[in-house]
């Protein structure tokens, strides 16, 4: 088998890249370890930056997004139950975010892949990368028990944090930067109307809480929890009680309770590996970096990475120029680090840290109170939240 670009992983990074290359008439094959139901079934991101929405429209993938996506011009912060609004649209000259779940995004990407002849090999086992530092890389994998080989010009490592691509870069080349947070998020999905028409990020003495949604009839809520806690210890009743407490009496009173159909705990981490290119391998999305979900940046960064990567590959194939692929890593990392900074900062002002003393708590309270009172501080938050420009 032969192709121009072998894409490892059919998550958002891999599938957006596959569609972009298809449109540019560059051959690609996507190798995915799991099946479609598994990838589409993962409950993850909920908020798309304008850039991600624009990319979906540009790829002619936004039919459902434009009908069902919930456009949010603002968001809310809450300190010990007292809510204040950030008018992102006004503060950023008209920019918004769109609530549209990652599951919906993946559904749209997979449906269109079938129609457009985007080549995906599901259940590709034992993927390994070879010859990345030469001109003819080879990807080996197992399909239906049979060993296969895919020859290619380039490999796009879009296989997430636990994939094989990043570990294929020699350790003396890779630099890794990491912060692991001493807590996780317990998330719940329920078919009940959301408490509020916009998101609420709540800092409460007992810990962080987030009120989000998937649709006017489906709510997504999160509460900060200890890393040693188990989902089984959180009955729906206990979750709703704790959520309402942390959201405070006003927002808490608007929470509609109902049976959950998904509940899971995700650890929080900041992570960047540099460079994002080695030889003929390019890393994109969670394979290269992780952000804590507080800033809602993970999926959006996967999209901006592959916009840069696709531009580089198009320059290479259409103009015979290496310039775009040579600048890919530096260009992508410049945007990645700003999203890392924002996600780390937003996490640090909204969560309860185990070793926090009275001083730390008051600094947090002062920072939130400062944001409440300063349009400039709100603009800084809003500009980052809606997404920094693609340079």
- Which residues here bind ligand PHB, judged by CB under 6 A? 45-47, 199, 212, 220, 293-294, 296
Nearest approach, Cβ of 267 to ligand RFL (angstroms)?
8
Q: Of 181, 308, 328, 385, which is the active-site residue?
A: 385
Clarify whether 167 is annotated catalytic. Answer: no
Pairwise CA distance, residues 58 & 52, whole Å: 10
Please report whether residue 47 would count as binding ligand RFL according to CB under 6 A: yes
Clarify whether 72 is annotated catalytic. Answer: yes
The DSSP string of 46-107 is -EEEHHHHHHHHHTT--HHHHHH-EEES-EEEEETTEEEEE-HHHHTTS--EEE--HHHHHH
Contact (Cβ atoms closer than 8 angstroms) between residue 88 and residue 77: no
Pairwise CA distance, residues 137 & 367, whole Å: 50
Nearest approach, Cβ of 378 to ligand RFL (angstroms)?
20
Please report whether residue 98 would count as binding ligand RFL according to CB under 6 A: no
Please report whether residue 65 would count as binding ligand RFL according to CB under 6 A: no
Nearest approach, Cβ of 313 to ligand PHB (angstroms)?
30
Pairwise CA distance, residues 199 & 144, whole Å: 45
Phi/psi-derived region of residue 173, left when phi > 0, alpha when psi is between -120 and 50, beta in every other case? alpha
The DSSP string of 273-301 is EE-SEETTEEE-GGGTEE--GGG--HHHH
Please report whether residue 324 would count as binding ligand RFL according to CB under 6 A: no
Please report whether residue 163 would count as binding ligand RFL according to CB under 6 A: yes
Contact (Cβ atoms closer than 8 angstroms) between residue 270 and residue 179: yes
Q: How many residues bind ligand RFL (CB under 6 A)?
A: 36
**H helices present in 153-293, as ranges:** 236-252
Of 163 and 293, CB closest to ligand PHB: 293
Please report whether residue 159 would count as binding ligand RFL according to CB under 6 A: yes
Clarify whether 201 is annotated catalytic. Answer: yes
Q: Of 292, 293, 308, 328, which is the active-site residue?
A: 293
Q: Under the rule (CB under 6 A), what is the footprint of ligand RFL? A: 8-14, 31-34, 39, 44-47, 102, 124, 127, 158-160, 163-164, 185, 187, 266, 285-286, 293, 296-300, 302
Which residue numbers are catalytic?
72, 201, 293, 297, 385
């Amino acid at each position: 088998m032969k192709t121009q670009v072998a894409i490892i992983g059919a998550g958002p990074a891999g599938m957006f890249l596959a569609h972009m290359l298809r449109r540019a008439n560059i051959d690609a094959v996507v190798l995915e370890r799991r099946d479609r139901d598994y990838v589409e079934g993962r409950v993850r991101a909920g908020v798309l930056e304008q850039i991600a929405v624009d990319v979906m429209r540009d790829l002619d993938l936004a039919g459902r997004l434009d009908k069902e996506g919930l456009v949010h011009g603002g968001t809310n912060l809450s300190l010990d139950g007292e809510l204040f609004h950030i008018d992102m649209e006004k503060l950023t000259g008209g920019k918004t975010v769109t609530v549209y779940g990652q599951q919906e995004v993946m559904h749209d990407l997979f449906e269109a892949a079938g129609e457009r002849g985007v080549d995906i090999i599901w259940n590709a086992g034992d993927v390994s990368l070879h010859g990345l530092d030469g001109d003819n890389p080879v990807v080996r994998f197992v399909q239906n028990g049979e060993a296969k080989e895919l020859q290619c010009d380039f490999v796009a490592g879009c296989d997430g944090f636990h994939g094989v691509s990043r570990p294929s870069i020699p350790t003396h080349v890779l630099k890794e930067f990491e912060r692991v947070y001493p807590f996780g998020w317990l998330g719940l999905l329920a078919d009940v109307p959301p408490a509020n028409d916009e998101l609420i990020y709540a800092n409460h003495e007992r810990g962080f809480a987030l009120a989000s949604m998937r649709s006017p009839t489906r709510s997504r809520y999160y509460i900060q929890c200890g890393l040693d806690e188990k989902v089984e210890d959180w009955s729906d009743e206990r979750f709703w009680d704790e959520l309402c407490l942390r959201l405070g009496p006003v927002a808490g009173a608007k929470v509609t309770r109902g049976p959950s159909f998904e509940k899971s705990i995700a650890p929080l981490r900041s992570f960047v590996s540099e460079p994002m290119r080695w030889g003929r391998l390019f890393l994109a999305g969670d394979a290269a970096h992780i952000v804590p979900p507080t800033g809602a940046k993970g999926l959006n960064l996967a999209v901006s990475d592959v916009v840069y990567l696709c531009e580089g590959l198009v320059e290479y194939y259409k103009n015979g120029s290496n310039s775009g692929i040579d600048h890919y890593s530096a260009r992508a990392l410049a945007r990645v680090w700003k999203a890392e900074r924002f996600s780390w900062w937003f996490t640090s002002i909204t969560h309860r840290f185990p070793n926090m003393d009275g001083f730390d708590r008051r600094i947090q309270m002062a920072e939130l109170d400062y944001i409440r009172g300063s349009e400039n501080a709100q603009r800084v938050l809003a500009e980052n939240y809606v997404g920094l420009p693609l340079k």
